[in-house]
Amino acid sequence: MKITRVLTYPVDPGFGVGWLFVKIETDAEISGWGECLPDKAHIQAEAVRSFEQYLIGQDPRRITHHWQSMYRGSFWRGGAALTAAISGIEIALWDILGKSLGVPIWQLLGGAVRDRIRVYQHLRGNTNEELAANAKKQVASGYDAMKFCPLPKMRPIEGPRLVKEVVERVQAAREAVGDSVDIALDFHGRATPAMAIVLEEAMRPYSPLFIEEPVLPENVDALAQVVKQFKTPLATGERLFTKWGFREVLEKGAASILQPDPCVCGGIFETRQIGAMGEVYYAALAPHNPYGPINLAASLQIAAISPNFLIQELVDEDRLGGGCLVTPFVVENGSIALPTAPGLGVEVDEAFLAAHPLSLQRDHGRWLHEGDGSVADW
């Protein structure tokens, strides 16, 4: 079996986001699908195509060899863009291998350790009342876990008024759903270590499942400083990539929950290896995925085989593949059944992709502080 073509599909699914899919075709008439980080999707697509000359004519089943060749094949290794491109390609290669053998990917990686994969949705609401009402709706639809960012724009040091407002949002969500529902909080790296410590202490009465990116992950010593003051589990990893990006976090005890993203960190096997590293340090695995349904499919394969898996991110049910997958995923009682079809277990509707191209670069814009116009962390 040989690779004959590598295609990229920047997709606009129609609800204000962009996705980047990768399709790898072979001479055996077996194709595999992957997904890449969609930020600057057209640049990412070019990064994928930069590997096309190497991949054409290769046996797609030599997945580890190709990963090593792509990652180590130039003097300047890694970085977010190239690692994300490798991730999308690697996911597609696993899809081909599974399809060629007629088994799901999890069967090739040691077999499943669970029958269902627990998921959480993002919780939204402009006011505390909206937040509470939406939390109740999610519970009524079967979810027993949710996540939201309670923080606005933040300066390095904030006073008691902001702290009080933030804590009231967390309180509103907790009081709406009670203690039987898990509520995770995403600080999105907006707080400094000093403020993260103040906020976490104020939120403890509402028992967050975890606090994600309380500070930016660029300084692992800062994460380690924060975690020593926290009573709430600290999660990080969405902006890290490859096993090397997670090594220092684990060695310094800077997080108890790892959140690698398969379409960013290096793909399916790299995510599995990061999870295995975390297992040695008694860290849980909660794969990051605010992106599309192919990355969700890859995450489910990893969740199926990982003993230390905690929970899977699902922004909302628009990400289950309605429209772009022939058979979208289904959430029942807050979980998704173990996929059993070969490869990733999904069939992509290419007509949908052709009808929904991402024609313009998406830009989140810039978040600026009122008053002085200085840049705030988004």
Indicate which residues carry an active-site annotation.
188, 288
3-state secondary structure 48-107: HHCCHHHHCCCCCCCHHHHHHHHHHCCCCCCCHHHHHHHHHHHHHHHHHHHHHHCCEHHH
Tell which residue, 358, 365, 349, 351, has the closest CA to residue 14.
358
Query: What amino acid is encoded at 372 in this protein?
Result: D
The pair of three-digit structure tokens given for residue 208, joined into one six-digit string: 């967050």
Contact of 177 with 142, CB cutoff 8 Å: no
Distance from C-alpha of 341 to C-alpha of 133, rounded to nearest angstrom: 37
Where helices occur in the chain by DSSP H, the ranges are 41-49, 52-55, 63-72, 80-101, 105-108, 128-140, 160-177, 193-203, 220-229, 242-251, 262-265, 268-280, 293-305, 350-355
β-strand pairing of 335-337 with 116-122: antiparallel
In this structure, how many other beta carbons lie within 10 angstroms of the beta carbon of residue 231? Answer: 10
Distance from C-alpha of 98 to C-alpha of 343, rounded to nearest angstrom: 4
Buried b vs exposed e over 153-180: b needs ≥16 C-beta within 10 Å?
A: bbeeebeeebbeebbebbbbbbebbeee
Tell which residue, 150, 175, 347, 172, has the closest CA to residue 232.
150
